[in-house]
Chains A and B, each alone.
Chain A
Amino acid sequence: MTKYPRIKLINGEKYFFRFDMDLRIQHIFLAGTVVILVLSGMPLKFSDASWAPYLYAIFGGINLAPTVHKITGAIMLLLFGYHLFWIAKVVYKNHYLRMKREGTYTTKGFLLRVVKLPMVPNLKDLKDIIDLMKYLFYFTNVRPNGDEYTWKEKFDYWAPFWGMFIIGASGVIIWKKELFTQIIPGEVINFLLIAHSDEALLAGLFLFIWHWYNVHFSTSVFPMGTVFLTGYLSEELMCEEHYDYYVKVMKEEGYEKEILPPHGGGHAPSCSDYAPKGDDGAASFEKISEAETSEHLAKEGGTAA
């Protein structure tokens, strides 16, 4: 972990570690293959659409595009395999081996630890969703205090995870249909085609609407969030989306005195307005006059005090 400091200071601004190089490369492979697969697959699903032949022509038309689609799909499946290996490695090294070393290993304890991994959905996510609804329906001005990974990110992770499994498995069977139908009946291919293309449409729409909104088009990150390239997230966005985790990291890294108030507490849509200006770091906190902000801070256990 020394390789990636949890907080990096660049020109006096704090950046928070999110994803290591391994994960970032995995993401780029995933993003690249998804885009190619969607673009080379949708013209088939909507083969009678006016745009279909033109889009298909980019990938070589009917004579080449299916091959492009299959090769790209194979790369994605290799990535999926690698990712499963990566998870196993992390769990083995950081949890299993560590517990063994510390002599605290029990099967139950180990499983509990796995269930509490930051990417596993939990009750906090439910609370965050309820808090988000309160925020979206104007019951409060405070955004939910996300943990290391928010429910949105978990959704972004598990939806493609399930999608890749369904689409990947059906894709391989459709690809090697002659082989698989030695065992399974031909009718199953009909169902697999439906599953493959409908699930792909869902995945595509999900990623290009929801995921892209969160990482590209939302006013917080427009035109593009950079965490997928740098692996580090700015303090402003950290406050906005991961306030609980932010406070935890700030404390653990000895920046307790510099913790910013939560996002949304003031007149400004982002907490950058409260960011220390020049040397006058403490003075900026005086701006917080809203009653509910202090109320909120009190709820947080006086972290900012």
Chain B
Amino acid sequence: MLLNLIKRPHWSFGALLIALCLLPGWVLAADMGNCLLCHKYPGLSRIDNDGKMKLMFVNEEIFNKSVHSKVKCEGCHTDITKIPHEPAKPVDCLTVCHIIEPTSEQKFSHKSVKTFIDESVHSKIDQEGKLKKFSEDMPTCKDCHDNPLFRPLAFVKKVRPGIAEDAMGRCRVCHEKEDFIFRFYNHITTRLHKSRSPLNVAEACGKCHDDKALVKRHGLTVMAGSSYAETFHGKAANLLSETIPDCLDCHVVKGKSVHQMYGNDDPRSSTHPENRGAICNSVDCHPKASVKFANYQVHPVFNKDQSPVVYWFTTFFYVLTGGTLLPLMIILFLDLLRRLFPNATFRRRK
């Protein structure tokens, strides 16, 4: 079997792998499937069939701080049953995994997300259950989600986020298992706020919504990410504000999840013209703002066809700036030059 593998051309690190496989298993006793036996090595990678390099290294320390740390490798990579294994298939996020969901005591799955997504603007199918046009553009789980790290929010630590030892201390009064305390604390505090910074969210949405061809294909009116970046919200996000509203703060109905976003023309949507005022003047944002306030263009477009007034207004300032500075800078330059040749007038030479 091993010899067989060496002969296969895509096993570019075959020799290395064999060496790794011969290492004693006790080194990584916590890793039940013994996957880290090979995957703990930072150089573990291969060039796949389309010539792309794939890094297969798993940093155990980082993985253990991620939201999926309790899930075993084979819980998601269900196609892998033996070591060494064939190239792994992409993970299906809707797989029922080996975790027991504590409230229902059922095996856990992300399946409910699919029902939400199928209802939302991002679904691949229309209301009649038929595939939408360009359905391949619609996002799948992994277009937006990676395996995020716990991002704990500390109430006790006021200076910077992180795990609050004081709070953990309170857990330890009743709970004994350190691993449980760590995970429970992290799960709760991470879920209490966004797991991504506003800039990160805007970039994730921008992957598709700033793609010119895609925006055009789907008849969208704006490049959502780049136009957001033109507003104070986007600029503050760029400068790493954690509290500034990002895409999700306006486009997700309060109390619902990101998987339940609807188009602007859907009355269920938070950004439907009828509902828009209520987003802006929520207590967390601009309380007491009028409905007129919500007319502010959060996705301003500067092109001539879509917003001619904005275009000409901006052009006026360009012309004003150029028209003021250019002549002055020419004078400045000529003045510098003139001072080098104080007596160089044509008239004197006559």
Query: Would you call A264 an interface residue if the criterion is a C-beta within 8 Å of the partner chain's C-beta atoms?
Result: yes
Cβ-defined contact, B297 with A210, below 8 A: no
Query: Would you call A38 an interface residue if the criterion is a C-beta within 8 Å of the partner chain's C-beta atoms?
Result: no
Give the residues in chain A near B344, CB-CB below 8 Å.
138, 141
Give the residues in chain A near B335, CB-CB below 8 Å.
136, 218
Give the residues in chain A near B297, CB-CB below 8 Å.
186-187, 190
Give the residues in chain B near A45, CB-CB below 8 Å.
235
Query: Would you call B106 an interface residue if the criterion is a C-beta within 8 Å of the partner chain's C-beta atoms?
Result: no
Identity of the chain A residue whose Cβ is nearest the Cβ of B342 in the assembled complex: A269
Cβ-defined contact, A139 with B345, below 8 A: yes
Give the residues in chain B near A186, CB-CB below 8 Å.
292-297
Interface stretch among A48-56, A228-236, A251-259? A48-56
Cβ-defined contact, B296 with A136, below 8 A: no
**Interface flags, A183-205, vs B, CB<8A=1, else 0:** 01111011101110011011001
Complexed CA–CA distance, A137 and B337 (Å): 10
Cβ-defined contact, A47 with B229, below 8 A: yes
Cβ-defined contact, A209 with B332, below 8 A: yes
**Interface flags, A235-266, vs B, CB<8A=1, else 0:** 00000000000000000000000000000101
Query: Would you call A159 an interface residue if the criterion is a C-beta within 8 Å of the partner chain's C-beta atoms?
Result: yes
In this complex, the interface size class of chain B, counting residues with CB under 8 Å from chain A, is 35 or more
Q: Is the interface of B mostly helix, strand, loop or mixed?
A: helix
Cβ-defined contact, A206 with B241, below 8 A: no
Complexed CA–CA distance, A44 and B234 (Å): 10
Given A198-B321, A209-B332, A219-B339, residue A53 in contact with residue B296 (CB < 8 A)? no
Interface stretch among B1-9, B55-63, B134-142, B309-317? B309-317
Query: Would you call A178 an interface residue if the criterion is a C-beta within 8 Å of the partner chain's C-beta atoms?
Result: yes
Query: Would you call B85 an interface residue if the criterion is a C-beta within 8 Å of the partner chain's C-beta atoms?
Result: no
Query: Would you call B100 an interface residue if the criterion is a C-beta within 8 Å of the partner chain's C-beta atoms?
Result: no
Given A177-B293, A178-B293, residue A56 in contact with residue B232 (CB < 8 A)? no
307-350 of chain B: CB within 8 A of chain A = 309-310, 313-314, 317-318, 320-321, 324-325, 328-329, 331-332, 334-336, 338-339, 341-348
263-320 of chain B: CB within 8 A of chain A = 281, 286-290, 292-297, 300, 309-310, 313-314, 317-318, 320
Residues of A in contact (CB 8 Å), total 53
Query: Would you call B64 an interface residue if the criterion is a C-beta within 8 Å of the partner chain's C-beta atoms?
Result: no
Q: Tell me, rounded to whole Å, the shortest Cβ–Cβ distance linking B233 to chain A.
A: 11
Complexed CA–CA distance, A177 and B290 (Å): 10
Given A185-B295, A187-B295, residue A141 in contact with residue B342 (CB < 8 A)? yes
Q: Among the listed A202, A205, A219, which residue makes an inter-chain contact with B317, where contact means beta carbons less than 8 Å apart? A: A202
Query: Would you call A140 an interface residue if the criterion is a C-beta within 8 Å of the partner chain's C-beta atoms?
Result: yes
Identity of the chain A residue whose Cβ is nearest the Cβ of B331 in the assembled complex: A136
Q: Tell me, rounded to whole Å, the shortest Cβ–Cβ distance linking B331 to chain A.
A: 7
Cβ-defined contact, A198 with B325, below 8 A: no
Q: Tell me, rounded to whole Å, the shortest Cβ–Cβ distance linking B200 to chain A.
A: 15
Cβ-defined contact, A213 with B320, below 8 A: no
Complexed CA–CA distance, A240 and B87 (Å): 82
Cβ-defined contact, A206 with B296, below 8 A: no
Give the residues in chain B near A268, CB-CB below 8 Å.
342
Cβ-defined contact, B325 with A202, below 8 A: yes
Q: Is the interface of A mostly helix, strand, loop or mixed?
A: helix
Complexed CA–CA distance, A269 and B309 (Å): 50
Query: Would you call B53 an interface residue if the criterion is a C-beta within 8 Å of the partner chain's C-beta atoms?
Result: no
Q: Tell me, rounded to whole Å, the shortest Cβ–Cβ distance linking A96 to chain B.
A: 34
Query: Would you call B97 an interface residue if the criterion is a C-beta within 8 Å of the partner chain's C-beta atoms?
Result: no
Give the residues in chain B near A189, CB-CB below 8 Å.
296
Query: Would you call B115 an interface residue if the criterion is a C-beta within 8 Å of the partner chain's C-beta atoms?
Result: no
**Interface flags, B168-193, vs A, CB<8A=1, else 0:** 00000000000000000000000000
Query: Would you call A67 an interface residue if the criterion is a C-beta within 8 Å of the partner chain's C-beta atoms?
Result: no
Identity of the chain B residue whose Cβ is nearest the Cβ of A184 in the assembled complex: B292
Cβ-defined contact, A53 with B339, below 8 A: no
Q: Among the listed B236, B310, B334, B339, which residue makes an inter-chain contact with A269, where contact means beta carbons less than 8 Å apart? A: B339
**Interface flags, A163-187, vs B, CB<8A=1, else 0:** 0000000000000011001101111
**Interface flags, A87-129, vs B, CB<8A=1, else 0:** 0000000000000000000000000000000000000000000
Given A186-B296, A209-B329, residue A47 in contact with residue B342 (CB < 8 A)? no
Given A187-B295, A194-B317, residue A141 in contact with residue B345 (CB < 8 A)? yes
Q: Tell me, rounded to whole Å, the shortest Cβ–Cβ distance linking B271 to chain A.
A: 14
Q: Tell me, rounded to whole Å, the shortest Cβ–Cβ distance linking B234 to chain A.
A: 8
Q: A45-B235, A178-B287, A194-B313 are in contact. List 19 more A-B contacts (CB 8 A).
A: A47-B229, A53-B240, A61-B239, A62-B244, A132-B331, A136-B335, A138-B345, A139-B347, A140-B347, A155-B328, A178-B288, A191-B309, A195-B313, A201-B321, A210-B332, A219-B336, A267-B342, A269-B339, A292-B347
| A-B pairs with lowest CB-CB distance, top 5 | A186-B295, A186-B296, A198-B317, A47-B238, A47-B235
Complex A-B: 24 CB contacts under 8 Å: A47-B229, A47-B235, A62-B240, A62-B241, A136-B338, A138-B344, A141-B344, A141-B348, A184-B292, A185-B295, A187-B295, A187-B297, A190-B297, A195-B313, A202-B321, A202-B324, A205-B321, A209-B328, A219-B339, A266-B343, A269-B339, A269-B342, A290-B348, A292-B345
B→A interface (CB under 8 Å) = 229, 231-232, 234-236, 238-241, 244, 281, 286-290, 292-297, 300, 309-310, 313-314, 317-318, 320-321, 324-325, 328-329, 331-332, 334-336, 338-339, 341-348
